[in-house]
Each structure stands twice: as C-alpha cells, then as structure tokens.
Amino acid sequence: MLIEPDQGRRRLILACVAAGLGVGTYLLWYIVNWPHGAVIQDGHIVYINGTKHGVVVALAYLAGTALPLMLSTQRMVVALGGIVLVGLVVAYALYWEAFVSVWCFFAAAASIMIVLHFKRVDQSRLAVVALNK
C-alpha cells in the first residue's frame, strides 16, 4: 500500500489490508483456542484442526493476500500477485489436505519476486543519481 502512487488504489488496498488483518486475527484466535496438530501425509505436512473454515474466511484470506497485489499500478507487484493467486489456486485445487504447507512453497516463490522488485527499484534510483551527477 505504501508504494502505490495512485490514491484510489491505495484506498482499495487499505480495505484489503483490513480484511487480511481481520482474517489473520480470527485464525490466530482459532489456533490459540482450539486443539490442532500436524501429520506427514504423501510427503506433505497436513495440519489437523478439526474444522473447515467457511467461504467468508476463504474470501477474506484471498482479499488480504492476492487482491492488494493485483490492484497495484506497478507491473512487478501485479506479477507477484499473479504468483500468489496461482499458488493459492494450485495449492487449494491439487493439495487441499496439505493446503497450508504447500501454500508456503508459493510464498517462498513470491518472496523472490519481492526481492527482484526492490532490486529493480534500487537500480533505477542509482541510475537517476548517476545521471544527476
């Protein structure tokens, strides 16, 4: 949100951040207050919590993770949003039982995109500084 130059998009991203904070707080409360565990199944970590969260939680999670990135005016950030969204869909569709652990793999790929984005921004700044000398 802080790197987005368009004010209207920043407001939409802020709403997504609020949804993400809400679902994150709910999931933290759930983990703290309800029994849970983990097992290895088919080479993946499967977390067991005794319940499935509803569509509202899933949509709030999506709004807090992928949607803010897709709303950006910066191509690299939108590409990151694409990786996050594809990872979320693939993990959900193909590895539902191990969704959380498989999703972590895609989060690592997304982290690489974040590093590349800021590296490009730094190179652009250095180029501008060099031109002004």
**For residue 95, which phi and psi values (nearest 5 degrees)?**
-135, 45
Highest mean pLDDT among 20-24, 36-40, 91-95: 20-24
Contact indicator for 88, 31 with CB cutoff of 8 Å:
no
Residue 12 has pLDDT above 90, yes or no: yes
Residue 6 has pLDDT above 80, yes or no: yes
Residue 86 has pLDDT above 90, yes or no: no
Query: Residue 80, SS3?
Result: helix
Query: Residue 46, SS3?
Result: strand
- Report the share of the chain in percent with pLDDT over 90: 22
pLDDT in tens, 97-115: 888 888 887 778 788 877 8
pLDDT of amino acid 88: 86
Residue 49 has pLDDT above 90, yes or no: no
Contact indicator for 91, 99 with CB cutoff of 8 Å:
yes
